[in-house]
A and B are shown apart, each in its own frame.
Chain A
Amino acid sequence: AQSVTQLDSQVPVFEEAPVELRCNYSSSVSVYLFWYVQYPNQGLQLLLKYLSGSTLVKGINGFEAEFNKSQTSFHLRKPSVHISDTAEYFCAVYSSASKIIFGSGTRLSIRP
């Protein structure tokens, strides 16, 4: 069965600094990967997805992620964060029979 591991439960960064949120997945022949964002007291919103093709995927709000097959990683990055990026971020992988498996989440806190 597929699984994802988010290596950091919390990541504090200063405003306008770059950030990387780490995600590793269990290896499989075909991999479909997602990043979701959850703002306080809201549901999850899709940031970006990797299905195939280019290993660098661009998403909304200036985020991007890189698929690395050899390291089984799908890290999320943003070159310069804003206060409004404060949220919890979930990495996810398609498993089987329409099910998507979510990581435990990384809470991103932005310091002014």
Chain B
Amino acid sequence: DVKVTQSSRYLVKRTGEKVFLECVQDMDHENMFWYRQDPGLGLRLIYFSYDVKMKEKGDIPEGYSVSREKKERFSLILESASTNQTSMYLCASSPTDSYNYGYTFGSGTRLTVV
């Protein structure tokens, strides 16, 4: 089974802190994605990556950056955490032909910024 592992299930950080959310997949997938999920707003794409060192902005990239130095790892960085970034963050991965397989998601990280 493909596994997508997010390093933390729950995280509490202070306003202004730099926050790193880590995601690792073990099936050699080319594509990786970061979403945030908020009640009533569904899933919103923050950033995605098609390959190592490649990244593209999604629908809501402001306040976030990403890093993909190795194929299996995709990190989401909150440069200076703010309370409006309190949310559930979901990482996903897929092979290049995602239309055939869909995405595989991690279990999510629930981030609270205080």
Contact = CB atoms under 8 A, between A and B. Distances in A.
Interface of A: 32, 34, 36, 41-46, 49, 51, 90, 92, 94, 97-100, 102-105
Contacts, number: 58
Chain B CB within 10 Å, residue with most, of A97, A99, A104: A99
Interface of B: 4, 6, 9, 31, 40-43, 45, 48, 50, 90, 92, 94, 96-100, 102-108, 110
Contacts of B4: 43
Contact of B105 (A43, A94, A99): A43
Contact of B99 (A36, A43, A51, A102): A51
B43 A102 contact: yes
Contacts of A41: 9, 108, 110
Nearest to A47: B102
